[in-house]
Amino acid sequence: MSTDQAATRTSGPEPLGEVRSDLAHQARATWVVTRRELLRFRSDRARMASMLLQPLLFIFVMGVGLGTIVDTGGDLSFQTFLFPGVLATSVLFTAAFAGVSLVWDREFGFLREMMVAPISRASIICGKCLGGAIVATGQSLVLLALVGTVGIPYDPVLLLQLTGCLFLGSLFLTALGVLLSTRITTIQGAMPMLQLLITPMMFLSGSLFPLGGLPVWLSVVTRLNPLTYVVQPMRHLVLQHLDLSAAEQARLLPALTWAGWEVPVGVQLLTVAVITAGLVGLAARLFASTE
């Protein structure tokens, strides 16, 4: 090694990366982490198949099966009523598991590759959340494509609105999974914890039954469940597009109230958005404080 090749701060070549504003750099880093999630999903055929199968079982087996004994009391089939709930349930599992994949990244060492890169920890968290949410939403689109089979019209606006709701729900659930992963560092610990959280969330979100006429305790718990505010707007959107009498609408989709105040759909969605932002922020904070 000759001296004239000496690496010094001024005479040596600068690192290849472009100098960008910090925000642009972090946004780019977030997108890089996001894209990895998408690439991983694409290469994982088994996960793709299993995640698609589960909601199909819900809608066709459970929907049809229960439909024979459950009378919705009107023209609406139970399958149609169930459909928005099944959509939400489908992202519930995929998104939460995508969030917990941070634990797998840690266990398999890859997390370290991200932790030592010249990017902020917050952008790793944001990337994981965004990536998981996109994957989960993408998976649920397959189910969404089947709306016609349960008598819901293929209305582009409706489909777009439902996709938006699904994305918001996915983001919320991925963030929840990521938040868990910042504190629970083993897969053995994370999986039961996740089940413990998401199974009650699914049953207590009104995905399987209308939220009217419930015992007080159940009605309180459902209102505390953030997923409720994803399921109810989606059911609202779907029922709006069906020819139902006002009375039937009110029966199937009783107004969601907070201490007597009828919560508008927009506020419901906003609630989920705020909670999601809180979860992402908390996860980023906890993640940054680990060495």
65 binds other proteins per the rule CB under 8 A? no
- Complex with other proteins: residue 25 or 251, whichever CB lies closer: 25
Candidates 11-19, 85-93, 150-158, 163-171; binding stretch for other proteins (CB under 8 A): 11-19
187 binds other proteins (CB under 8 A): no
Q: Contacts with other proteins in 69-108 (CB under 8 A)?
A: 106-108
Q: Rule CB under 8 A: is residue 267 a binding residue for other proteins?
A: no
- C-alpha 146/C-alpha 152 separation (Å) is 9
290 is an interface residue for other proteins by CB under 8 A? yes
| Contact status: 36 vs other proteins (CB under 8 A) | yes
Which of 37/150 has CB closer to other proteins?
37
Size of the residue set binding other proteins (CB under 8 A): 42
Site for other proteins in 106-135 (CB under 8 A): 106-119
Binding to other proteins by residue 246, rule CB under 8 A?
A: no
222: its two tokens: 């459902």
* 21 scored as a contact of other proteins (CB under 8 A): no
28 binds other proteins (CB under 8 A): yes
The CB-of-109 to other proteins minimum distance in angstroms stands at 4
Residues that bind other proteins (CB under 8 A): 1, 3, 5-10, 12-13, 15-18, 20, 25, 28-29, 32, 35-36, 39-40, 43-44, 106-119, 185, 290-291
